[in-house]
Each structure stands twice: as structure tokens, then as C-alpha cells.
Amino acid sequence: MFDKVLLPIDVNYEESWKKALPAARRCAGPAGEIHLLGIVHDIGAAMVSSFLPEGFEKLAMESMKERLEEIAKKEFVDAERVKTHVGHGHVPEAILRVADQIGADLIVMASHPPNDLRTLLVGSNADKVVHHAKIPVLTVR
């Protein structure tokens, strides 16, 4: 069993957690903590962000926190074992940064089925986390 399991999810994409969440529960056992992580993507270019309303990223992070809390309440009866976190930036980097900050000893995350063209052009977030993590990573399909 693991003491602190980090479960990065996309709150808008149920497939990012429906199978991974039960795996995280099993890995945490009866005493481990589960840390849900939602990530707000960094807009990046100033030109793009100039078209967004003022305070967009702050509002997006607040909304993410609310959605994570809703999922935690809905999916866990033992809410004291679940903590929610909102990351910001590039997805793999945010996952690794939060894992380090909370002292996670396992990352559980969903991985989309391989698609050579998509992986070549964009790359898989799970692949990047697996290759750069200092702790075990369980990918779930």
C-alpha cells in the first residue's frame, strides 16, 4: 500500500478518472491518502491571453477547485482521506511538481490508447510523467 497517491484528472473528461480512481483507491488501501489534482493549462502567448477576460486564469483555477471538491464528495465516502489540488501550467510538469510538493509515493493516471500520429505531434502526458517521475507511476486504460 502507498501513503500518498496522486491522481491527476481532467474534470471535463470522465475517462481521465473513472478507471484510474478505483485503482488509486486500491493502491492507497484503507489508510493512505488520495490527492486529486486538476490542472489549468497555461495560456502562454500574450496575444492569446489578451482576448480573454481579465482574471481568466484565477477564475479558471477557482472553478477547477470547486469541480474537484464535487468529484471528491461524489466519489469518496471517506472524505478525510481525499485532498484536492489545483495545478497551473504544462500538464506533465504540473503533475511532477505537485507530486514532489505533497511527497507522493505513487502517481496513478489514465492514459489514452496509443495513436502514433497524436503521440508524434503532441506526445502523451502519461508518457512524459512516466519518463521523468522519481516515483512509481501506474497508468490505467
Q: What digits encode the pLDDT tens for the residues 64-115?
A: 999 999 999 999 888 788 999 999 988 999 999 999 999 999 999 988 665 5
Single pTM value for the model = 0.87
Give the mean pLDDT of the chain: 86
**Sequence spans of domains, the chain:** 4-140
What is the C-alpha to C-alpha distance for residues 3 and 24, in angstroms, rounded to an integer?
11
Q: Is 106 exposed, middle or buried (0-12, 13-18, 19+ CB in 10 A)?
A: buried
| Residue 32 clears pLDDT 90, i.e. is over it | yes
What is the C-alpha to C-alpha distance for residues 104 and 124, in angstroms, rounded to an integer?
21
CATH topology of domain 4-140: Rossmann fold (3.40.50)
Instruction: Quote the pLDDT of residue 111.
Output: 82
